[in-house]
Each structure stands twice: as C-alpha cells, then as structure tokens.
Amino acid sequence: MATADDLKKLEEELKNRESLLQAVLPPAASTYAASIKTFVPITLDLEDSNYAKWRELFLVALGLYGLSAHILSENTPSDTSATSDWGRDDFTVLSWIYGLISLELFGIIMKPSSTAKQIWDAIANLFRDNKKSRALALDAEFRNTAQGDMTISDYCAKLKSLSDALDDVG
C-alpha cells in the first residue's frame, strides 16, 4: 500500500510531466487568443503598402500557435466540418485575418464559406496582381518626394515608407 509520501511524489511527477507536455504541444483551440493584434499590430490596407510586413508578422503569429498549415499547406484533412478540430482552428485563423484587414479589403476578399487558405490566397493575389502599376506609381512618388517643410526625420521616414512599399512589390 502506498504511503502519503509516495502519493505526494507521484503527484509531483505527474505535474512535472504535465508541464513538459504543455511546453511541447501546441495550445488547444480553446486557449487561442481571440485577437492576435498584439503580435500583428498592423492593419492590412490597400493604401498603406504594408503587405510584406503584415504577412511576415501574421506568419510568425500562426507559427506561435502551430496553425501555419491552415494557410501554407495544399493538403486539407478529410474532415473540415465546423465541429472538427481543424474546422474550429480554421475559423480561428479566418477571424484573425478578418480582424487585421481594412473594411475596404474585407469587402473585396470576403467570400462566405471560404477556408483561411482561400482568403489568404485571395489577399496574396490581390497584392501581387497589380504589382507593376503599383511599382511604377511608388517609384515616381519616391523620386518626386521633396523635403519641403518636413523635418529631416519626417522626410527620411517618408522615404523609408516608400522604399518599404517598393520592396513589397519586388
């Protein structure tokens, strides 16, 4: 028969094993953040030319929660119903995407019953399709930006913003 000390040791070992598992396993769906704005403080907007930054931060946040496959993988499981684990996780990723884009962009890409990957691809296609015209317009704006009455700090920030936007379009 186990003594009180034996039981105490077993309980401690169980707690240690549980904490090790929690460190290795991704969080359960119920523990996902309702919003990931802490990790992605950028709202994706057609006017701001911030797609590359937004995309990178979003991918990092998905990696943190072990959900990258929802937008990067070509393979989806056989059960994608709303009640499956995959389906619930996909709704989480969708809600994160929708919460981090402008209303104008939402109106363009939103399609009922879409998966997170379909919406992710629609966003990517939107920002990549008009690359050439955006690049020409940004290049012209970059070359024609004069300091005027801006402080040197504001002027450099403006040029950096335009440079980043040009980088977004390759």
Q: 51 with 64, same domain?
A: yes
Q: In this structure, what is the dihedral angle of CA atoms 142, 146, 150, 155, given to the nearest 10 degrees?
A: 30
Q: Are residues 54 and 101 in the same domain?
A: yes
DSSP per-residue codes, 52-92: HHHHHHHHHHHHHHT-THHHH-S---S---TTSHHHHHHHH
CB 55 within 8 A of CB 126: no
Mean pLDDT for the stretch of residues 140-157: 83
Structurally, the chain folds into a number of domains equal to 2
Residue span of the structural domain in which 94 resides: 34-129
pLDDT at 97: 94
Q: In the prediction, which pLDDT does 164 show?
A: 75
Under a CB-based contact definition with an 8 Å cutoff, are residues 119 and 94 in contact?
Answer: yes
Closest CA to 96 of 114, 116, 81, 78: 116
Specify the pLDDT at position 120.
94
Indicate whether 21 belongs to any domain: no
Per-chain mean pLDDT for the chain: 81
Q: Do 85 and 50 belong to one domain?
A: yes
β-partners of residue 101 are 44
4 is a domain residue: no
Give yes or no: residues 73 and 149 share one domain: no
- Give, as one character, the DSSP assignment of residue 103: H
pLDDT in tens, 37-82: 888 999 998 877 788 889 999 999 999 888 988 898 887 777 777 7
